Structures are given as C-alpha cells and as structure tokens.
Amino acid sequence: MLLQDKVVLVNGGSQGVGAGVVRAALREGARVVFTGRRADAGEAFAKETGAVFVRADLADPAKARGSVEQVVDLCGRIDCLVNAAGLTSRGSLLDTTPELFDAHVAINLRAPFFAMQAAVRNMVDRGAPGTIVNIITSSAHGGQPFLAPYVAAKAGLVGLTRNAAHAHRWDRVRINGLNIGWTDTEGEDAIQRAFHGAGDDWREKAAEAVPMGKLGQVDEIADFVVFLLSDRSGVVTGSVIDWDQIVFGGLD
C-alpha cells in the first residue's frame, strides 16, 4: 500500500476531486481526515468511508491552520496534506467585484497558504519528512475570460507551490501541484447549469469536444495525487504538473 499508516489531511474532501483522494488514500492504507463546509455532506461521507470529518470554512485563515492542528490533536502528527478545496464561480476582468475577487483569494490561495504553514511547521518541528499536493488548474496558464479571479488566485498558488517546495527541500518536505483540466465532478455539473445554461446532456456534448472523448475523471486524478503523496514519487518536489488533454503551446 502506497500510504500505509500515513496521516493524510484532505482539505475540501467531501466531494469532487477531494472526495476521490479520500477514497484513494484510504484504499492505500492511510489514516484520513477531511474537511468541508457542509456538516450533512461531510458526516454522510465520513460514515460511508470511515474517514474522519472536520467541519471547517477554510476562508477563515484560523480554520485553515486549525484543520491541520485538529489532525495533529487526533493523530499525533500530519504526514501528508492535499489542498483540494476550490471556488470556481465566474467573473471576468470587467464584471468581477472586490467581494468576488476576495472570495477567490480566500479559498483558492490564502487557505492553502495557511494550511501549508501549519503542516510544514509540524513536519519541521518533528524533523520528519512529509508531502503536500495542491490541486490547481490548467487555467493558471491563462484560462477563459470568465475565470479572471479564479485564474488570478490559482496562478498565485502555482508560485506558492514552487516557493514553498524550494524553501523546505532540505527539510525533506516535498510539495507539488497538479494543474487539472476540465473534470467531471458534482461541482462542475452545478457550475455548467448555473452559469452556462447546460442541460442534462452537457457531459456527452463536452466529451465530443475533447480529444480523449471524455472529461478528466476523479478516480484517475486521485490515483495520481496518491502517487505524488507517496514515496514512490521519489525525490520530485516543486513540480506543477499539467494533468490535461490540452497541449499547452501546441497550435493548429
């Protein structure tokens, strides 16, 4: 098992990619704690999987740090952190309000920063190695016009991932990011319906419009995240990997 007896925290783990990582980490032998804002969804998922649920609104920096502190209180340490919580509500350069911009920064950049701060501090204080994976987005390369605040925050997370990895390489804390592309999740379904007027057949139409004939799949992404968390990914740190079917820089 790739994560045998590792203590893993998945922030934003009650649905979507985060939930997939929770399942994959449990399968690979980890002790898993996950956070979410909705108590009903989190408690139901915890009951289903056997993972431990901690309710937390990560927009509050104290709660982001506190998510790690609660894991340490429960398990004595933290070995692995996955920052999977994300806000994808739409906004362009011209119509984004300061409130929407701040909401994106709070969830997509500030929350990972302070969760990483607490996790790395625990690892360094114990003199123990650890791994962190940040779920980012291929849109960090530029993205669509209607994703302006999202791209701004996630591009910041790209830089933070590399900065933190460089700063703590001698502590043997490996920090990597995954730029995921268009992915089939519950959240994406809600976004497509709310912002793009999509019908029940949007997944089929989307699959026809991409090279591999399907959107990114949660279980496949989760397996890759577990690999990056595990010792099998070797010495790799500071990498932000494009996990997408778009070839960035390629032109027709």
> What amino acid positions are annotated as catalytic residues?
150
Contacts 24+ apart (CB under 8 A), 39-47: 41/14, 41/15, 42/14, 45/13, 45/14, 45/15, 45/19
Neighbours of 158 (CB within 10 A): 17
- What tokens does 2 get? 């790739």
Q: Can you tell me which residue has the tokens 């609104």? A: 57
Residue 35's DSSP bridge partners are 54
- Nearest Cα to Cα of residue 113 among 172, 146, 159, 54: 159
